[in-house]
Structure 1
Amino acid sequence: MKKIHLLLLKSFIRPFLVTFVIVMFVLLMLFLWKYIDDLIGKGFEWYVIAELMLYASATNVQMALPLSVLLSSIMTYGSLGENYELVAIKSAGISLTRAMYPMLVTVLILGIGAFFFSDYMLPKANLKYYSLLWDAREQKSANFLPEGVFSSSFPDYTIRVEKKDEDGQTLHGLTIYYKGSNFGDQPFVMKAKNGRMVRSNDNKYLVIYLEDGIRYEEAPGTGAFNPHPRQTFTRYRFKFTQQKLKLEGLGFKRTDEKLFSSAFQMMSRRLLLDTISKIDHVIDSGRRVNFAQASAYIKYFNMPKKPTDSTLKIEKYNQGVMSFGNNSQEGGYIQNALGEARSVLDLMKSRADRYKEASYSVHSAAVEYQKKFTLSAACLVLFLIGAPLGAIIRKGGLGLPVVVSVVFFLIYHIISTIGEKAVKAGDASPLVGMWIAIAILTPIGLFLSYKAANDSVIFDADLYKRLLNNSVGRVLSAFKSKVNLAGKSVE
């Protein structure tokens, strides 16, 4: 490998790593902004949030990787052009196409790695991510005792706290209503001026330490022969007591991941192919069943085995069913036909809904299958756009390259999203819908590569200013000549 190739590789790898980390950080911030309400205030341990962010980072690779390739390639060749290093490379007899070879090989290797990542690692990461996110969103809030609200988070208890300190554990003005249980416990009401709540060491109980309070309790009387015994009312004060509340159903529990494994995002390429073939088989068998069930309702008329009237003319059969009866019989024919049509409609409506659902499943599985390949192709195509753009723009850093790369990436992302929705709706085939963005951007990349190899100035602002001035000057001169001719004709 030549030294010039090592120079280009070093110039590309450093900005690629930096931009990849930046893009991943931005996407993680978007993830936190989207689900901040589902994560805050639920008492998660730090490692649960860290695990969720790790899986979210793995799922964001399919968006961060193409954008990082595009941005880093523009920055690399823009910096080389700005420092006149591309001029030195060309003066040494090395064309821009040859200078792109080592980076092109690197992007190809990166694309192959992206394919294996999307086929083997991404389904497992999606399974972990979506199952953990589901459990996090279903988790109840850890703020069991909000201020000024009668909380019913604990079974058989209703608790109200007037005020809480900043630490979230010191309580003031507590009121506890206990409704009683099926084991003979009597309901009671407890009031306390101050309190403090802590979790037990095994995280199974919430212990509330109460200070300076009073407890009210009612119990049935002891009159054995009185059918309406008086109840016993008990009231006693306390300086210090505690109340243990069970945290069953309030702690963080994980759902079995097998319940999420049937989603297409959690499947590998081979499993997607097997799923598509099974659903296609179900659709084909459903079509045959539809024909068999609908054909039983199709009856034009019933004919006797032997004609009863020998004078019946053969031409009457060609006039339709209505020609065989009088006016009263014709109404019966119409009612029978309407009943048969309603039966067929009711039968086919439910089966049509099943067919739509199965078709949507096939299209969704095909979309996920094609995504295994489009990620690698997107890296290559965006590199073919970014490298010549950097050589033409000749600007490094995070200024103009960021703007240009974001524009092209948005074009790619919007076209891909439209194609994906068209495939799921059944308006386009999976091959066309998922590869249309690649098919549109590839000629653009080849055109930019050709222009960059020929030292094109398509992004030179001075060139467009000169063209604009020349065109405006020609229009003005033509207008003046017409005015002069009009003046002469008037004279």
Structure 2
Amino acid sequence: MLKKLDKLILKAFAGPFLLTFAVVQFILLTHTLLKYLDDIIGKDLGTGVLLQLLFYFSVLIVPVSLPLAVLLSSLMTYGNLGEHHELTAIKASGIALTRILRPVLLLTLALSVGAFWFNETIVPRANLKAYSLLWDVRQQKLALDIREGVFYNGIPGYTIKVDKKTGENGDHLHGVMIYDHNQKSGNASVTLADSGRMLNLFNGAYLGLELYNGYNYVEQPDAQDRAGASFARQGFDHSMVTISLASFGLVRTPQDLFKENRMMLNITQLDTATKSVQKKLRIERQRLPVQINGYYTFMRFDTTGRAANRKVEKLQVAPGKLAPTSGPIIQQAINRAQNLKSFTTSTSERLEDYARNSALFRIEVYRKYSQSVAVFLMFLIGAPLGSIIKKGGLGVPILVSILFFIIYYVVSIMGEKYGREFVMPVGLGMWLSNLVLLPAGLFFLYQAYNDSGLLELDFWRRLPQRIGIPSLRKLTTPVKE
């Protein structure tokens, strides 16, 4: 019977989990792409590049989607069982709630382990692929966009102006002006044409401008007198200008240039990088007293207060004036103080950079663990809460899931920020969201095990008495003498 029960519960969990995981993936992927929309639009990237970006970013958001999907599907699964009184019937047969939760609990533990492996193995590679491709996309120029009445200089070596564009695709041109700068001599070569037509040549590798009824003007410089330069004019009825569009192609940067970034490293590599940075920080701190010592001048004095091995002479100095030898000494002291200030400022900035880099590497290590544990934590919240509220479908579970996920997400961001800015230890900051939600999960589990109804009014009336606070009725009831 118990095996059939496990199959029943797992089957009830599988459908909502796959559905919610797909929906959450789509929502988070849309949110991610919106951040980089300005870098993608108008560059004619092609279907292949866009599909690669979609795939890589879909992989990257899996660690974030998985906890929310587990939370929502757990709420829906046990909410449906409670709403249809199946949960009550199972309990009536003598099976405890912990036994009812066990099949999904074991599955969630397996998902947590899988999430850790995914974070450790797949995500660093996907980060390398995604962000190296995104870098190349950002460097690529916008697609060819020649507008009416505007000088267009997006093609290296040329400036093009068109008075009017006609035709179904805007490929018929009127009033064409082309400046050729390939000879590095300014506007020495100009082509004017009454009309023309744009052509796509060699599968988009070249732009062809077929021109009609125009002139080519080429400046003929005078070696002796620049002001005496003249133009040579050559007319034409038909001319073809071919321009390479190689600068609009997507040029891929070697991925090895990005692989040292902390997002592209696994735990072993992150630990090595952290130790390296901490070693540099430790060496710099050890050298600091010796380096600062060089900015000071020390003098030994004997018991009489005079400088040792120095002859001190009495000088007659007018009141309010420094001794003749005091000026250079004071200026030297000022220079040394300024040098010391510059040295300490630059050194403190360098030490702070080392410390921040060390914190950033450790943040990535803790992230891999905390996101994996969050999968189990969301089950610990969702499953008991679903059995308490006894509401399936997509209404109440979605509202409750969004509430807890917002809490988890906001606290995660705060903890990471506090760890990065040294407000709290990095480990505490990265585990803060899990530590905040863990008591809520244990509380819901306790209430579900004791069949308490969180949504019932009596529960909240009795809550002050349970925690030792007298009820309002008792406080306002007069005492009989």
Is residue 2:195 matched to residue 1:193? Answer: yes
Q: Please list the CA deviations of residues 310-345 of structure 1 after superposition, one character each: whole Å capped at 9, or x if unmatched.
A: xx54xx59xxxxx99987477776555444332222
CA offsets 1:114-154 (integer angstroms, 9 cap, x no match): 10110010000011111111111221110331333110112
* Cα distance per residue 1:166-220 (max 9 Å; x no partner): 864523324132335439997232224342331423x43112334x432242464
What RMSD in Å do the two structures reach over aligned CA positions?
A: 3.2
Q: Distance in 2 between matches of 1:417 and 1:230?
A: 67
1:158 aligns with 2:165: no
| Aligned CA distance change for structure 1 residues 463 and 325 (closer, same or farther; 3 Å) | farther
- How far residue 165 of structure 1 moved from its aligned partner, in angstroms, is 5.6
Aligned amino acid, residue 155 of structure 1: P
Q: Whole-Å Cα distance in 2 between the matches of residues 347 and 27 of structure 1?
A: 47
- 229-238 vs 257-266, which deviates more? 229-238
SS of the residue aligned with 1:100?
helix
Deviation for aligned residue 1:354: 1.0
Pick one of 396, 403, 417 that aligns with 1:400: 396
**Whole-angstrom CA distance in 1 between matches of 2:221 and 2:428:** 82
Question: Over residues 343-375 of structure 1, what are the superposed CA-to-partner deviations in whole Å (9 max), with x where a residue is unaligned?
Answer: 222222211111111111000000001111111
**Is contact 1:363-1:423 (8 Å) kept?**
yes
1:93-112 alpha-carbon deviations (Å, 9 max, x no partner): 11111111111110010010
CA contact 2:25–2:65 (8 Å) conserved in 1: yes
The residue number in structure 1 matching 2:272 is 274
Deviation of the 1:300 alpha carbon = 4.2
CA contact (8 A) 2:217 2:231 kept: no
Deviation at 1:33, TM superposition (A): 2.2
- CA distance in 2: counterparts of 1:73 and 1:165, whole angstroms: 60
How many Å separate the matches in 2 of 1:445 and 1:324? 83
3-state SS of paired residue (2:247): coil
Residues 278-334 of structure 1, C-alpha deviation per residue, up to 9 Å, x if partnerless?
11111111112212111223444244xxx6xxxx54xx59xxxxx999874777765
Question: Closer, same or farther in 2 for the Cα pair 1:141/1:473, shift >3 Å?
Answer: same
1:436 corresponds, among 429, 432, 436, to 432
Indicate if the aligned counterparts of 1:195 and 1:209 stay in contact, CA closer than 8 A: yes
Q: Pick closer, same or farther for the CA change 1:229–1:152 going to 2, 3 Å.
A: closer
The amino acid that maps onto 2:47 is W
1:319-338 to structure 2, matched below 5 A, reads: 328=323, 336-338=332-334
TM-score in terms of structure 1 length: 0.85
Which residue of the partner structure matches residue 243 of structure 1? Answer: 241
Moved more, 435-444 or 75-84: 435-444
Please report how far the alpha carbon of residue 6 of structure 1 lies from its aligned counterpart in structure 2 after TM superposition: 0.5
Instruction: For 1:252, give the aligned amino acid.
Output: L
Deviates more, 1:178-187 or 1:29-38: 178-187
Are 2:366 and 2:427, in contact at CA under 8 Å, matched by a contact in 1?
yes
TM-aligned CA deviation for residue 433 of structure 1: 1.0
Unaligned runs of 5+ in 1: 318-322, 483-491
Query: 1:81/1:182 Cα in 2 relative to 1: closer, same or farther (>3 Å)?
Result: same
Partner secondary structure for residue 151 of structure 1: coil
The residue correspondences of 1:174-193 to structure 2 (distance < 5 A) are 174-179=175-180, 181-182=182-183, 187-193=189-195
Give the 5 Å matches for 1:297-446: 297-303=295-301, 313=304, 328=323, 336-446=332-442
Count the aligned residue pairs.
457
Is this contact kept in 1: 2:176–2:195, CA < 8 A?
Answer: no
CA drift at 1:458: 1.5
SS in 2 for 1:41: coil
Moved more, 290-299 or 416-425: 290-299
Task: Quickly say closer, same or farther: Cα 1:221–1:117, change in 2 above 3 A.
Answer: closer
Q: What SS does the corresponding residue of 1:145 show, helix, strand or coil? A: coil
Question: 2: CA distance between counterparts of 1:13 and 1:197?
Answer: 55
Stretch of structure 1 that moved more, 324-333 or 41-50: 324-333
Q: Which amino acid aligns with 2:265?
A: M
Percent same amino acid at aligned positions?
Answer: 35
Letter in 2 for 1:30: H
Distance 1:242 1:462 in 2: 87
- Whether the aligned pair in 1 keeps the contact of 2:452 and 2:459 (CA below 8 Å) is no
CA gap of 1:188–1:391, structure 2 versus 1, over 3 A, is same
Residue 84 of structure 2 aligns with an amino acid whose one-letter code is N
Q: What secondary structure does 1:189 align onto? A: strand
Over 3 Å counting, the alpha-carbon distance change for 1:467 and 1:277 in structure 2 is closer
Q: Distance in 2 between matches of 1:280 and 1:11?
A: 50
Q: Which amino acid aligns with 1:17?
A: L
Distance 1:74 1:229 in 2: 83
Aligned to 1:487: none
Counterpart mapping for 1:204-243 below 5 A: 204-210=205-211, 212-218=212-218, 220=220, 231-238=231-238, 241-243=239-241
| 3-state secondary structure, aligned to 2:393 | coil
The code of the aligned residue for 2:41 comes to I
